[in-house]
Structure 1
Amino acid sequence: MDRAICRLNGGCSAGESRGETSEPRPSRGLITLEELESLTEDLDSHSALGRSNSPVGESVETMEVEERDRLLHFWQDVGRGHQVDVPRDMAEPIQLLTTDMENNQEREKIPSTLLTKKEKCGVLLYEKRNLEKLNWACITVREETYEQSICLGFMKLMRYICQQNSSGNYLGMTIPIITVVQVDDIRSTLLREVTVAYYLPQQYQDHPPQPLDPEISIETWPAMVVYSRPFNGITNEASILGEIRTLTDVLGSLSINTGNSFIIAGYTSPAALHRHNEIWFLERH
């Protein structure tokens, strides 16, 4: 069975698709994407202070190493206060992501076509879009909480994006980063298995760089129709379940078969003060 179609339809688990048993892994302390929101200003001032104190004759290479270490130590110090583990091998991804944010580089968006939309009193209720058949880098994780799962998945994908791939290149951030979640039959609880997915930039679509991490896979997802609704702020189990209920109510009269799998699309940096997200429902036949 095709793993991507299986996952999007809420069928088999990652372990089942590999012929393995699905045993829960022990929970670990991980920094949530939401907790990084407040770090931006402190991180900027911390980095600026470190640069201003560097000796005039210090080499560029030494300064870059020290800057990378300062960023890592800053994140680790904050993480310890939240009982969070930010491993040392995240130093380079953190530096590349920070540089990307500071330079305000344009991020490539997932190609899609707007089919229709509905508004009420100037407020967007939903959009119906067609997404092309695309290649994604995906990882499925199963931690104690949704926040832990997306954090672990995001950090592993960051390593892939930041040169831990067969090309050895920094692939660049694309938007949105999406997570596929599943709910129970009455849509009151998120199941523990979460898939985090990164859209490969167009230049890599025909020949995707292969991940060095065996837990990450390159998957071709079929073209699909999604109903999307924007929302701002944090993403956790409570907010996601609330957004699912809201869009279900909005789409109620359309009698759309959506199943029990949903997508959360994040368009802004994990450290952004004002984050923009969307909830996606997949149209099924």
Structure 2
Amino acid sequence: MDQGGCQMSGGGGGESTGPGVITLEDLESFSEEQLSDSGNGSLEDGETMEEENEGRLLHYWQDVARGHQVEVPEDMAEPIQQLTSNNEGRSNRERVPFTLLSRKEKCGELLYERRHYEKGHWACITMREETYEQSICYGFMRIMRYICQQNSLGDYLGMSLPIVTVVRTDESRSVFANDVRVAYYLPAVHQAQPPQPNDSDVVIEIWPATIVYTRPFTGPTNEVTIMNQINTFAEMLDSPEVCVNDSFIVAGYTNPAHSQRQNEIWFLEQR
């Protein structure tokens, strides 16, 4: 796994903690009933029901994102609609494959796991927005376009979890670097021949086999909470010197709008 390589979750929970990130589960949470109730019940001249639903989903997320200082452009209407319609349940989402090597517990509570991730293809984009959360949000929207037909196959590629973000810090682990990389693992059916992105800033990378130390945590993911999690995890490791000390991965599994969202911090073992 590329140590500079590429979460998809972000600040914004019940209380505002900064710009928010729109993810797959956010889109799914906008139910068909809500979709029907959000409009005025009538179609514009020449407008189809599908176009009306696309417009309602887009306007809904524009309203949500605007409250977090993030703008969702008009051309996101179709990707949002595709992710919503293709991911009505959780069973069709692949998990990034790994082998569990060991785990450490204390009083029955999981502290961390050591896992081996195989070599694989990831679609990545590097963002340099004003804030960490904005970089995640705008990066994921561009990854969404790649997943939803803006690729050499012209087809929907399928969703995998977690979406990961690589963050870099200074040596004291107190300040984030400006560059944030967002990455999506290609589902198994596309691993041998990854579809190429139409967006030249989205690149397909082969991440080598990697051993990572992972610690679960719940709640929001913003600069403050992530830095706290990184430093807490470093204190737990028996031999923190075996891990890369300035590059970390945040893995997001569930809706970042949920008060108990599920995330992990990943430390990369030195190669």
Q: What per-residue deviation string (whole Å, max 9, x for no partner) do you get for residues 199-257 of structure 1?
A: 00001001000000000000001000000000111111111101101110110446423
Residue 259 to residue 98, structure 1, CA distance change in 2 (3 Å): same
Q: Which one has the bigger helix percentage?
A: 1
The 5-angstrom pairing of residues 36-47 of structure 1 reads: 45-47=33-35
1:129 counterpart SS class: strand
Match of 1:67 among 18, 35, 53: 53
2:24·2:84 contact (CA, 8 Å) conserved in 1? no
Residue 254 to residue 160, structure 1, CA distance change in 2 (3 Å): closer
Alignment-mate amino acid for residue 115 of structure 2: R
Q: Are residues 1:205 and 2:191 paired? A: yes
Match of 1:223 among 201, 205, 209: 209
In structure 1, list runs of 5 or more residues that go unmatched: 9-29
2:234·2:240 contact (CA, 8 Å) conserved in 1? no
2:70·2:134 contact (CA, 8 Å) conserved in 1? no
1:259·1:284 contact (CA, 8 Å) conserved in 2? no
Greater RCO, 1 or 2 (C-alpha within 8 Å, sep 6+)? 2
Distance 1:250 1:79 in 2: 36
In the alignment, which residue of structure 1 is the partner of 2:125? Answer: 139
Q: Are residues 1:268 and 2:254 paired? A: yes
* Larger Cα-atom Rg: 1
In the alignment, which residue of structure 2 is the partner of 1:26? Answer: none
Residue 166 to residue 235, structure 1, CA distance change in 2 (3 Å): same
TM-score, normalised relative to structure 1: 0.82
Distance 1:237 1:39 in 2: 24
Match of 2:37 among 36, 41, 49: 49
1:143·1:192 contact (CA, 8 Å) conserved in 2? yes
In structure 2, list runs of 5 or more residues that go unmatched: 6-17
1:106 to partner: Cα distance: 2.4
Match of 2:21 among 33, 41, 44: 33
2:177 counterpart SS class: coil
RMSD of aligned Cα (Å): 2.9
Distance 1:220 1:104 in 2: 26
Alignment-mate amino acid for residue 143 of structure 1: E
2:123 counterpart SS class: strand
Q: What per-residue deviation string (whole Å, max 9, x for no partner) do you get for residues 85-141 of structure 1?
A: 110111011112223443444210111000000001111000000000000000001
